[in-house]
Chain A
Amino acid sequence: MRTSRRFAAVEPVGSAPTPVMSYPTTFNRAPRRAAAREVVRAQALCKQYRSPWTLKTVDGLKDVSFEIAAGEVIGLLGPNGAGKTTTPKMLTGLIKPTRGTAWALGEPMTSVSSRRRLGFLPEQPYFFDYLNGVEYLELAGRLSGLAGRDAAARAREWLGRVGLSDRPRLILRKYSKGMLQRLGLAAALVHQPELLILDEPMSGLDPFGRRDVRELILEQRRMGTTILFSSHILPDVEMLCDRVLIIVDGRLVRTATLHDLMQHGAHGVEIRCVGSPVLEIPPVWMTKLARNEHADGTAFLLADATLMDEVVEWLMRSGVRLRAVTPQRATLEELFLAATESTDLDRPEETA
């Protein structure tokens, strides 16, 4: 089965048209401005699961509250079993909260109409394998309120957009995992939703597929679609999100913009030198300065960036030839691990 390796490119509204690959005209729309309008509000969401045999209750979600403004791209992070799949399912009406409530696009999530302008891609999506791609997207469009002809036209166009138009009549049981993931994304987007909820959209995809999904999310972000997505792939979250919500053990332990998260993270400095100088680190810096020998020289790792000037001066005074001084920034992975390993989980910390 041959499929095009990239999604068709989007022609930004107002720019010169591209003759070869252009965005379907029916989907062109003016980019929505990211205003302060609230698209999602969750208030003290709790979910308890009760075992039918032992009657013991297990907390799936504990007092989770957050807001998402229009046009934001939010990453939902958390270890397995933390509740990051429960949250999107509550917003889409698949799971009912034990306590608390949430609004999506101004309507309570319990109302059916709140899902009219919402697109959802579940984790490892399963489809009606007796349908073909066009039939499935047409059904998805019609169920989301599109009229018959409009749904049919958009189904064909979106199949092309995600690179599956070579064999539109191929039944879904013959699709590969990557093809199904692309189809799931097309189904989530076929009715042009204002809020897009994606649960592990990159899971199981090869690097090409991940790149394509990433591009599609970026394209939706440019168009002003509000996006909430959960992922284990932290570089993707780092690349796409404005803000992250970190859920651990059913609690929202951190809500922060990526910028704030990075600012609050540990900052160090790496100082690379030529050769292997004979030096004894002063006792006062013993805990803050580490030395690593490399094939092409020596690297001093300074944990506290405020000491950089003093350390550089000391090295130069000692006759060391410096090659590079590089500030080190904590990666999202390190920050995520620090947040999840923190023992102080009882009080949610709001940093943004």
Chain B
Amino acid sequence: MNALLVARNTFREATRDRVLAGIVVTGLVLLAMTQVVGVLALGEARRLTVDLGLSAISLLGLFVVLLVGTNLVAKEIERRTIYNLLSRPIARHEYLIGKWAGLSAALWVVCAVLGVALGLLLAVRGSHGHVGSIAEAVYLAGLELTVITSIAVLCSSLSTPVLSALYTLGFYLVGEWSYDLRAFADKAQGMAGGILGVVANVVPNLPLFNMRTLASSAQVTSAGHLVIATLYALVYCGCALALATAAFESRDFK
């Protein structure tokens, strides 16, 4: 219950922040610009629109996480607004879960708005076959951002906003290359291979959430893939939030 109250407040904070409104407007402008670039794509305009539109959703969502998410806890500690919450009957894990859930909800709204705009744009251009694939791709992009938000909350509960942003960006970049890292770990010998294998398992498996190539060809993924991606996201978020709670539990607020 308390986590829901914190989540509602975090959602309100994110949606009243000009950053989020700016990101949504930027996304809509980028979608419009795909129509200009599409002229140069020689018959591949629809594919380009879908690919650029879905990339915009993922990258703009990442910006929101880096700009808002990495400040979530650290800024509250710095500005001492955290006293307003933790001096009340709220467990620290409820606080962290609430923060993560609130920002994740705001990101899902961003994904939904931009996803609907992309769908409408394609419908206006007479392409109705992409609706299912775009819906799936936007859903997976939302899951990906939810996972990155949990990492941002973990980093934010341990470090300063700037360092949190750097750590979160690092996790994102390495996570995007986790398949290659795993393949490299399999080929590497000895301790280096072991370390790379551990790193590949610790960083989020972000390619699991990337359906942009399929969606641009108007293809849908399997239900099994969606279920596995959903379960993976939930387990990963749970682990990241459990670690954040363990680190946060003993923290003093001077």
Contacts and interface: CB of A to CB of B under 8 A. Distances in A.
B187 interface: no
Given A126-B81, A127-B81, A95 B254 contact: yes
Nearest to B253: A94
Given A128-B13, A130-B16, A139-B5, A144 B250 contact: no
B88 A144 contact: yes
A126 B16 contact: no
B84 A94 contact: no
The 5 closest A-B pairs by CB, nearest first: A120-B87, A92-B87, A143-B88, A94-B253, A130-B16
B92 to A, nearest CB: 9
A144 B13 contact: no
B6 to A, nearest CB: 8
Given A112-B90, A126-B84, A130-B13, 17 more contacts: A86-B254, A89-B253, A92-B86, A95-B254, A112-B89, A112-B91, A122-B83, A124-B80, A125-B84, A126-B80, A126-B81, A127-B84, A128-B81, A130-B17, A131-B12, A143-B88, A144-B88
A93 B252 CA distance: 9
Task: Give the interface size class of chain A.
Answer: 20 to 34
A113 B89 contact: yes
B74 to A, nearest CB: 14
B160 to A, nearest CB: 13
A253 interface: no
Contacts of A145: 89
Given A94-B252, A112-B91, A130-B17, A143 B2 contact: yes
Nearest to B81: A126
Contacts, number: 69
Given A130-B12, A143-B2, A93 B79 contact: no
B85 interface: yes
A93 B81 contact: no
Interface in A116-150: 116, 118, 120, 122, 124-128, 130-131, 135, 139-140, 142-145
Contacts of A93: 86-87
A177 interface: no
A161 interface: no
A187 B84 contact: yes
Nearest to B94: A112
Contact of B87 (A86, A94, A96, A142): A94
Nearest to B85: A143
B90 A143 contact: yes
15 contacts: A93-B86, A94-B83, A94-B86, A96-B250, A112-B89, A115-B89, A122-B80, A122-B83, A122-B87, A124-B80, A127-B84, A130-B12, A139-B5, A142-B5, A144-B88
Nearest to A188: B87
Given A94-B253, A96-B250, A187-B84, A128 B9 contact: yes
Interface in A141-175: 142-145
Among A94, A124, A125, A131, the one with the most B-chain Cβ atoms within 10 Å of its Cβ is A94
A116 B90 CA distance: 9
A128 B2 CA distance: 17
Given A94-B83, A122-B83, A140 B88 contact: yes
Interface in A66-121: 86, 89, 92-96, 112-116, 118, 120
Contacts of B253: 89, 94-95
A131 B13 CA distance: 8
Nearest to A143: B88
Contacts of A187: 84
Among B84, B86, B88, B90, the one with the most A-chain Cβ atoms within 10 Å of its Cβ is B88
Contacts of B5: 139, 142-143
Contacts of B85: 143
A347 B17 CA distance: 54
Contacts of B2: 143
B91 A115 contact: no
Contact of B88 (A86, A115, A125, A131): A115
A96 B92 CA distance: 13
Nearest to B88: A143
Contacts of A130: 12-13, 16-17
Contacts of A114: 89
Contact of A115 (B16, B81, B87, B254): B87
A140 B5 CA distance: 10
Interface string B50-86: 0000000000000000000000000000011101111
A126 to B, nearest CB: 5
Contacts of A131: 9, 12
Contacts of A144: 88-89
Contacts of A122: 80, 83, 87
